[in-house]
Amino acid sequence: MNIRRFIWPLSYKGVQVPDSKLSRNNRVEKAKIPEIATIYLQQHIGAPCEPLVEVDDYVSIGEKIGDSKSFISAPIHSSVSGIVLSIEKKNHPSSGLKKEAILIESDNKEKWIDREKLNDISELKKEDLLHIIRESGLVGLGGAAFPTHVKLSPKTKIDTLILNGCECEPYITSDHRLMVEEGDKIVKGAEIFAKILDAENVLIAIEDNKPDAISIIDSIIKDYNLNNFKILKMKTKYPHGFEKTLIFLATGREVPLFIENRAGLPADVGVVVQNVGTAKAAYDAVYEGKPLIDRVVTVTGDVKEQKNLLVRIGTKFSELIDFCGGFNGKVEKVVMGGPMMGICQNDLDISTVKATNCLLVFGDKYKDKNLSPCIRCGNCVKVCPVNLVPTDLAKYARVRKFDLCKANNIDACMGCGSCSFVCPSKIELAQLIAWAKNETRNIK
């Protein structure tokens, strides 16, 4: 077997980012129900969905309105009750490109589909649980949006489930508040995942800047007598929440970069990682019969009120900002996600998707500084978690030498942005590398 391994540093790299968790103590509030929900048919890694409804159809909350026959996909559901206004292409927050979406006008009647609620799942088989999770449209809620049922269907033996509660990006506090307010549901969701995977060990990783979450989750584990569950108190450092980094720090196992002709996966070392928000959504799906129609979103930065909101999927960004009192002064940019890996938005009429965990507003005091040439300081090399040389990759990208990018393991880049963060010349290293990484996908 041809295996190329990550060459991890003996002492883990990364960066210390400023503590910007402005909304850490703000309880989750319910956001206003959107008047028109814009629900994209592509909200996950994998094949987009095909619409299952037509214009003028009436839909209820939780009704499946899009699906795909592809295994790597996840259905979508209506987040409001009302009439389908149109099926048209709208700008998508993850790419800025126009993607097909279903627009539903809410009737504010909050009519739900019939839901089957369960108190005991002990008699359910793995296949039953996987079916519920798939039909409920669950995807990874940490930002990647990989279909959950696919991740829970590895071809190798899994002995360890890691629940990721690190939330290492600055500003974002949605997972933190979930752990504090819905910890019991998160733990029960982890039990569902462990049952499906036959995982012997469950590790819940939480950074040490969240002592309240650590205390609450630990108490729940003890109350439920879950002897195979363990809290991992992680040092606060970015990017501890990255899947392969977390596996290495939690277990000492190195995920292969490549195995034969495919990328290495956590399952190759007997591990599956799930986000704490995904675990809570699994509880909702299995015990409450509730598809993924909402999620917690942090709205923070230069808004008048910092909030953690329970948001219906398909709500416009502008509505969330208005719900938080509007902008606090002039605005330089609005980002979906955190400042390190988030995506700048050029239209506030774009709507939330399953991957929207934060809406971050930067005022004009954060205006980007002028770039200057690389001074070969090596800062980007010192902090790269996977031991790349970002300045060289960016140099190759500029002159379109994508074969050299490939030869220098650009595929190992996790896109964490640590290199850009420490660059004194303010070179957009992460953006150049991300572009080049995409361009190298067709190079064998």
The pLDDT of residue 11 is 42
**345 φ, ψ to 5°?**
-110, 140
**By CB neighbour count within 10 A (0-12 exposed, 13-18 middle, 19+ buried), where does 262 fall?**
exposed
- pLDDT classification of 4: cutoffs 50, 70, 90: very low
Please compute, for residue 218, the number of CA atoms within 13 A of its CA located in the half-sphere on the CB side: 11
Query: What's the pLDDT tens digit per position in 130-180?
Result: 999 999 999 999 878 999 999 999 999 999 999 999 999 999 999 999 999
The pLDDT of residue 366 is 66
Q: Is 416 labeled as ligand-binding?
A: yes
CA-to-CA distance for 12 and 274, rounded, in angstroms? Answer: 22
With a pLDDT cut of 70, the percent of the chain lying above it is 96
Among the listed residues 189, 238, 190, 233, the one whose alpha carbon sits nearest the alpha carbon of residue 212? 233
Does residue 405 register a pLDDT over 80?
yes
Q: Is 168 labeled as ligand-binding?
A: no
Q: Is 358 labeled as ligand-binding?
A: no
Where residue 276 falls (left for φ over 0; alpha for ψ -120 to 50; beta otherwise) is alpha
- pLDDT classification of 69: cutoffs 50, 70, 90: very high
Residue with tokens 């800047």: 209
C-alpha radius of gyration, the chain, whole number:
21
- Helix H segments across 252-389? 276-288, 317-323, 379-383
With a pLDDT cut of 90, the percent of the chain lying above it is 79
Average pLDDT, the chain: 92
> Residue 19 belongs to what H/E stretch?
none
Does residue 275 register a pLDDT over 80?
yes
By DSSP bridging, strand 36-40 and strand 98-106 are antiparallel
Distance spanning both ends of the chain, measured CA to CA: 18
Range list of β-strands (E), 290-414: 294-301, 307-312, 331-336, 343-345, 358-363
The pLDDT of residue 308 is 98
Mean pLDDT of 72-89: 98
Does residue 245 register a pLDDT over 80?
yes
Structural domains of the chain sorted by starting position, each given as residue range(s) with its CATH number in brackets: 13-19+116-288 (3.40.50.11540), 31-114+291-364 (3.10.20.600), 371-442 (no CATH)
Q: What is the pTM of this model?
A: 0.92
- What number of other Cβ atoms are within 10 A of residue 336's Cβ? 22
**By CB neighbour count within 10 A (0-12 exposed, 13-18 middle, 19+ buried), where does 395 fall?**
middle
Q: Is 344 labeled as ligand-binding?
A: no
Query: What's the pLDDT tens digit per position in 359-371?
Result: 999 987 766 667 7
By DSSP bridging, strand 76-77 and strand 64-67 are antiparallel
